[in-house]
Amino acid sequence: MDKFRNALNFIKQYVDFEEPEIQAMKNRVQWLYLKKNEVFINQGDIARTIAFTNKGYLRVYYLHDGEEITRDITPLHSFATALPSFISQKPSWETICAITDCELITIRKEDLEYLYSTYPRWERFGRRIMEEMFVESQRRIYAFITETAEVRYKKLLKHYPDMIREVPLTYIAGFLGIKLQSLSRLRKSMDWN
């Protein structure tokens, strides 16, 4: 039983790696275990690592007029960091926090840069994963433009049933771009088609 099984399955969707490249990665990552509500990256800190969520759900939010605005809930087996801060190495305005107990595979920026510079296939992986994340992000913009909150909620239920089960409704509402009370009302009056 390989601890890296989830991560490797995910990675191999994008690039076929040789064994030494995989080893180089394994030598440079750290495992990080977060309890529910523990913080991965705090607002004001510099995002020095990026994480792969091997287990659990993270929430990305920032403070807007004293209110936490949830921008993202990371699906299982995906990457998470405060990217603007990670790229620029300036303080982050976003906070990333564990919604459930989490098991993260993290890599420091300098180690990732080392992989990028040393192994062209890792740089290629970086490009492809970013393309994918961008496309997904665009899909979400379409959803905001064309779908009502009810439709967005139904799709979330359909695509991420586990997530809905484990994540409090406040955060789901934030992710959908509506208030908790609106989500609650919408759940009551929903026709299930």
Partner DNA sequence: GTAAATATTTAACAAATGTTAAATGGTTTT
Partner DNA sequence: AAAACCATTTAACATTTGTTAAATATTTAC
Residues that bind DNA (CB under 7 A): 148-150, 168-170, 177-188
Distances (CA, A) of 7 to 25, 92, 165: 11, 26, 23
The token pair that represents 81 in the structure block = 């960091």
Q: Provide the minimum distance between the beta carbon of 29 and a copy of itself in the complex, in angstroms, as a whole number.
A: 19
141 binds, among a copy of itself, DNA, none (CB under 5 to 8 A by kind): a copy of itself
For DNA, the closer of residues 26 and 179 by Cβ is 179
In the region spanning residues 14 to 43, those forming contacts with a copy of itself, defined by CB under 8 A, are: none
Number of H-type helices and E-type strands within the chain: 9, 8
Q: Provide the minimum distance between the beta carbon of 62 and DNA in the complex, in angstroms, as a whole number.
A: 16
Q: How do strand 102-108 and strand 58-64 relate by DSSP bridges?
A: unpaired
| The one-letter amino acid at 182 | S
Contacts 24+ apart (CB under 8 A), 128-133: 128/14, 128/15, 129/14, 129/79, 132/14, 133/79
Q: How far is Cα 182 from Cα 185, in angstroms, rounded to an integer? A: 5
For 10-48, where are the E strands, in sequence order? Answer: 29-34, 39-41
Q: How far is Cα 91 from Cα 85, in angstroms, rounded to an integer? A: 6
For a copy of itself, the closer of residues 139 and 165 by Cβ is 139
Q: Provide the minimum distance between the beta carbon of 53 and a copy of itself in the complex, in angstroms, as a whole number.
A: 17
118 binds, among DNA, a copy of itself, none (CB under 5 to 8 A by kind): none
Decide if residue 137 touches a copy of itself (CB under 8 A).
Answer: yes
186 binds, among DNA, a copy of itself, none (CB under 5 to 8 A by kind): DNA
Q: Provide the minimum distance between the beta carbon of 77 and a copy of itself in the complex, in angstroms, as a whole number.
A: 18
Which residues contribute to the site for a copy of itself (CB under 8 A)? 62, 64, 69-72, 83-84, 87, 116, 120, 123-124, 126-127, 130-131, 133-135, 137-138, 140-142, 144-146, 174, 177
